Structure 1
Amino acid sequence: MTWNPQSPGGAARGRAGQQGWGNYPPDKEHSFAGLPRTPKTQAQSLTALREVGGSAKSHPGSAGAQAQTLHPEMRCRRLALGLGFGLLVGVALCSLWLYVENVPPPVYIPYYLPCPEIFNMKLQYKGVKPFQPVAQSQYPQPKLLEPKPSELLTLTSWLAPIVSEGTFDPELLHHIYQPLNLTIGLTVFAVGKYTQFVQRFLESAERFFMQGYRVHYYIFTSDPGAVPGVPLGPGRLLSVIAIRRPSRWEEVSTRRMEAISQHIAARAHREVDYLFCLSVDMVFRNPWGPETLGDLVAAIHPGYFAAPRQQFPYERRHVSTAFVADSEGDFYYGGAVFGGRVARVYEFTRGCHMGILADKANGIMAAWQEESHLNRRFISHKPSKVLSPEYLWDDRRPQPPSLKLIRFSTLDKDTNWLRS
């Protein structure tokens, strides 16, 4: 506030100053530290205020002390929040542990078993379908020797052709399939003493199997060095795949479906269009050509093609996933011959292997190992083409008049010695 000589107080002070009244009491509202409010004292007061403000900025000790008094409260609050969060996490983990401990054990669901990595594999072009049990169906059994005992049935009740000599034109089929530039794969298992059959099998295949087409042989063996070097024709390849030798001969049969499905998923689906799975202890007798190609192909067993289905050696125990009722079944198919498009063979072998794993988890082995599961699978997943016993014959049996030509048949062998 400045001095105004026009105000009453200002006029009085002015007069006192002019008259020399030095003891005139200063007005406290217009003074600083008891000094008169003059321009000089006003400037001094402003300078003092600036110095006090600067010293407060350079010494923030009082504000820091006030902030430090808040730290213990914040630490207590954070500690309480941490303890509460830890308690919630502990309760959640305990609940999860109790849930896992109380999950019931699996019975027939192979996905809960310590299965191999095959169940996580997928083909690049085909999604993997989950294993589903199927309901039973009842219908009359088809008869292969209808309508006449000397003639074979040529069509199944689900409209799948039954291939036999005289039901196709080989020249016409060759003209249809040859431009497709197909590659046909063929798998056989030669484990232990069965390696002695590899040479005769390959020599007969080079002579009769899919002549004029590209062929890729896959030999699964526990002794790769025992596979002989058989000369192959142009466009025909051979791959030897090493496998572990099982301790029992039954394991060769039960592990076959697993090995084939793994091989398809890992490799064969990129190399072949069709894949046939045959037994190595057999030989080709006559041409085997493109008439056998189909989505899913099965061969009728030579020992039961004229028998009623009640006499088929199906697995009859209800506890097995391969169980077949007396009222079920079309034909009894042999496990020595099956095939089709590589994607369908993958699904088929994977399904059979899952059934085998489910039985193994429950301490069960089907009556005829993989052949029992193969027949169960073909009942619920019908083959698109059926091969007559011409393509799977037993030379120990006399050839009936209904079979005009034998194309693939067994060798005479001592089975007990081979499995010892």
Structure 2
Amino acid sequence: MEWIYIKDMKKHIGEKVEFRGWLWNKRVSGKIGFLQLRDGTGFVQGVVEKSTLGEEKYKEVKKLKMESSLIVRGTVVEDQRSPVGFELHIDEVEIVHNPSEDYPISKKEHGIDFLMEHRHLWLRSRRQFHILKVRHEIIKAIREFYNNEGFVLIDTPIFTGSIGESAGNTFEIDYFDYGKVYLAQTGQLYLEAAAMALGKVYNLGPTFRAEKSKTRRHLIEFWMNEAEVAYYTHEDNMRLQENLVSYVVKKVLENASENLVALGRDISKLEKIEAPFPRITYTEAIKLLNKKGSDIQWGEDLGADDETLISEEFDKPVIIEKYPKSVKAFYMQPDPENPDVVLCDDMIAPEGYGEIIGASERIWQEDVLIERLKENNLPVEEYQWYLDLRKFGSVPHSGFGLGIERTVAWICGLKHIREAIPFARTLYRVYP
């Protein structure tokens, strides 16, 4: 008898199969019982009958606790009433492990603190299953997109002596006799070096921000996809971002629409996500916000509430470009038509999910970069290797960073980003 995963059972209607997994709920009484089973690929109902199992085994099944691990054998039977279109009529039950105590996360409601404290078990629930399946498809689609476009994967370091953003939100670490190093906020600077060698490069990995933020959009440790391309202009960069996000949404709808529906997501909103996206300048964004009642002034950075107000005007992600130089990072190329702004953009997700991409054309002239480092009080000597990229064969180049968890939250329709990553690291949580 063949061991079959739930995701493949529909191909085995009428056949006897073996299932290996867990019991996540049950209703057993009288002469018949219904076992809700899961195996990491899906959920299915198993039907047990006393007459088939025998009285002793049926008694054992009645005593099973939630999350008992089981191997069962039976026939896959078509059932139109089932959400998956079939159920499993069980002939044999082999109990691998029946817990000695009740499962902490039962059917009753729990507060978020309790669930986060038991995150290692909460992952087994239906909702978390569907979220993590969507996250998997998002990451798979990102890798597919870059492979199709001829990019090379570069694994950038997590320990760094060069700060990519402001020094105020870095984690400092004593690194043997070397002195202070930091947990990387970005792999961008290293991708720039790789782009000068390989042309089109990307990474995908964890990054860290020591921001004491408790909003629903912030994590301390999060995953980021970054890309960097030699000879790409600001305009090329924005087109690349549009194409990436469109591709990811399309692939998730193709491969995980059932997961989205199970989460209650309105997928008709996602079906509208196709390049090109609307674009406005930062200056236009300020005017729009003022018109909507905000008192924000030109020169101030946009906050989460500002981004939400802007996103209400669009049913696709909106690209806001050309922010003031004073609110952006040191490495961004000044706009030749207006040196007070830089050739950068943020992509804001619709429906109030905020910024999912930050991007810019990079400064490629050595003297301009040195000047910007000094303006930001950054030690020029620590960036000597980065300056070398401007000394030897420098070219215009551009890149961006896409936040994985914010993208997951938007596509899944989550209220809080902590559910978008398997084990969230927030201001007050590093357990489990």
TM-score, normalised on structure 2? 0.22
Which protein has greater RCO, CA pairs closer than 8 Å, 6+ apart? Answer: 1
User: Which has a greater percent of strand?
Assistant: 2
Q: Over alpha carbons, which structure has the higher Rg?
A: 1
Identify, as 1 or 2, the structure richer in helix: 1
TM-score under structure 1 length normalisation: 0.23
